């Protein structure tokens, strides 16, 4: 099963919804990464085996530069509701394996 890491721009309600569904998720404050740069988030997620959930376009640029990652779930900010994001991440969690998500971007 995949695990998630939410960067600081993702609403905490997403973490709450995932945790309610018994899905393993960390947030930026959980990881002690408030104010950290994107590469620190990628390093943490890579070390922990977590797919990064983000609204930040910079993660797409890092992906395009070939920076290795466990996976990125990307959604434009304010385009999707918290409930929608939780439902899509739950579906992703139920169908994707860590190997399938490795170095892949999933657009929500």
Extended beta strands in the chain, E state: 3-6, 25-27, 50-54, 72-74, 105-107
Residue (of 9, 4, 69) closest to 40 by Cα position: 69
pTM of the model: 0.93
For helices 57-64 and 38-48, the axis angle rounded to 10 degrees is 70
Kindly indicate the confidence band of residue 78, based on its pLDDT and cuts at 50, 70 and 90.
confident
Q: How confident is the model over 35-45, as pLDDT tens digits? A: 999 999 999 99
Q: Any idea which residue has 């408030």 for tokens?
A: 34
Q: What's the CATH fold of domain 3-107?
A: Rossmann fold (3.40.50)
What does DSSP say about strands 25-27 and 72-74: parallel, antiparallel, or unpaired?
unpaired
Q: Which two tokens stand for residue 45?
A: 């997620």
């Amino acid at each position: 099963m995949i695990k998630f890491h939410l960067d600081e721009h993702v609403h905490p309600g997403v973490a709450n919804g995932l945790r309610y569904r018994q899905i393993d998720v960390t947030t930026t404050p959980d990881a002690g990464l408030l104010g950290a740069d994107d590469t620190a988030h990628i390093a943490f997620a890579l070390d922990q085996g977590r797919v990064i959930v983000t609204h930040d376009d910079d993660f797409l640029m890092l992906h395009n530069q070939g920076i290795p990652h466990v996976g990125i779930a990307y959604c434009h900010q304010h385009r999707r509701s918290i409930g929608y994001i939780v439902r899509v991440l739950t579906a992703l969690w139920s169908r994707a394996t860590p190997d399938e998500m490795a170095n892949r971007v999933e657009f929500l």
